[in-house]
Amino acid sequence: MTIHIDSLPNEIILEIFEYLYELMDMINCSYVCKRWRCLALYRLSRVKGLCGPYCEYTICSDIISANVNESEYKITKLLPNLKIIDSLFDGRGLTVRFTHALVHLKQLRAVRLYYPHLLARATVLPTKIHSVNTHYSRRYFGLIASQLGPQLKQLYLMIFPFRELATYAHLMPLLIRLHLQLKPVEPDVYYHGPELSNLQILELVAKNQNGVISLNLALYMLNYCPKLKSAYFCLRTEKFCKKLYPSRIDRHTNLEDLVLIFHTNRQWRNPDYWNFLIVALTKFPNLKHLAIRDNCRLTEGVIIQILERLPNLRILDVRGALVDSETLIQTANSKREKPVEIFLGFYQMRYVPTNRMNPKLDFMRHCFFVNEFPGLPRLFDLEEEEDDE
């Protein structure tokens, strides 16, 4: 028996529409007839996220993709409940008109745009935007920070000069997560700005070893983040890390997760570097999850000291370390009241969701086991956190 599609009930057509993930497909369906238009608009009214055609998202009904010219003039009418725009669109084609239209999206919370001027030049933006991902621009970022900073909870900046952080920090008092992809070949400058009093996640990364910071500078930054729970640092080679100051690092009782990604180098044979690291780690007494990856100069002797001096440690990831005997490490681990889960050998990344927008502010699930910074989430959906509260 053949059933004509027009005879299908609304529930079945809606279910079919749930499997259409391109905005233009839904627009075409809306042209079929009045009934289909109503159903298509209803399906689109439930969409929370708009992404470009090449964004990496797990297929789901609340995220839809679109090309540039479609998004320019139709999103505010077709997607009235949009909360997230992840619209790099290959970095081409968007205009200021696009951001002017955003004011009509009353539910908009998170924006990811390649060009910062698109946000900076918009005269009015929705007052509830709390998450921004864009490239840094000295010309435009001050405007973005002054306009959105007071409500901003999450900031992901690409090609950012670390020395500028102190300039803008006072404009963003509510920041919960800060991700900075640092500018290459920049000298170390210690942070001496205002406290980031609400920050819970700090990520300092770079595309190559010339753009990251030294170990002592990274750990010194924690002094200004009293509520920080999780940190992810890519660290410079030894020639940028000759002066070590353990006394500059304050005791921090809230830090639970710490990832240190090293670049292999010869001078880490110097025991002073490892002694500094161990002394620094003991200033984080509640540290539960520690990763020290990609440094072949890390020996079992240092690993054993870490096991002995961090009583609350639960996970230790030291893949890439130079280990001659795992037996010594396991023996030291067995003497602990609560043994640690230890990862040795070569790095084989666990499954980590690749969505640029991730639900839940969960560092251990989405960040800790990521070994390359492009795998870190571009943004978390902080609406999930607010709903839980």
The DSSP string of 161-180 is: -GGGHHHHGGG-TT-SEEEE
Closest among 278, 275, 271 to 308, alpha carbons compared: 278
320 pLDDT band (50/70/90 cuts)?
A: confident
Give the pLDDT score at 117: 73
pTM: 0.87
Q: Return the DSSP state at 81.
A: T
**Cβ-proximal residues to 241 (8 Å cutoff; 6+ apart), any chain:** 214, 215, 216, 235, 273
Highest-scoring range by mean pLDDT, 15-24, 63-72, 242-251: 15-24
* Range(s) of the chain covered by CATH 3.80.10.10: 161-348
Class (C level, CATH) for 1-45:
mainly alpha
For the stretch 252-308, pLDDT in tens is: 999 999 999 876 555 566 777 788 889 999 999 999 999 998 887 888 889 999 999
- Taking a C-beta distance cutoff of 8 angstroms, is the pair 226, 197 a contact? yes
Give the pLDDT score at 251: 94
126 pLDDT band (50/70/90 cuts)?
A: low
In whole angstroms, how far apart are CA 272 and each of 60, 149, 241, 355? 51, 41, 11, 40
Q: Return the DSSP state at 185.
A: S
How far apart CA 348 and CA 315 sit, in angstroms, is 16
Closest among 321, 319, 301 to 309, alpha carbons compared: 301
Phi, psi (degrees; rounded to nearest 5) at 306: -60, -45
- Taking a C-beta distance cutoff of 8 angstroms, is the pair 68, 89 a contact? yes
Give the pLDDT score at 174: 95
Q: Return the DSSP state at 349.
A: P
* Statement: residue 321 has pLDDT above 70: yes
Closest among 130, 66, 128 to 98, alpha carbons compared: 66
For the stretch 6-65, pLDDT in tens is: 788 899 999 999 888 888 889 889 998 999 999 999 999 998 888 776 555 555 668 787
In whole angstroms, how far apart are CA 341 and each of 171, 226, 313, 323, 335? 41, 27, 9, 16, 13
How far apart CA 64 and CA 21 sit, in angstroms, is 5
* Range(s) of the chain covered by CATH 1.20.1280: 1-45
Which residue type occupies 113?
A: L
Q: What is the mean pLDDT of residues 177-204?
A: 88
- With respect to CATH, is domain 161-348 assigned 3.80.10.10? yes
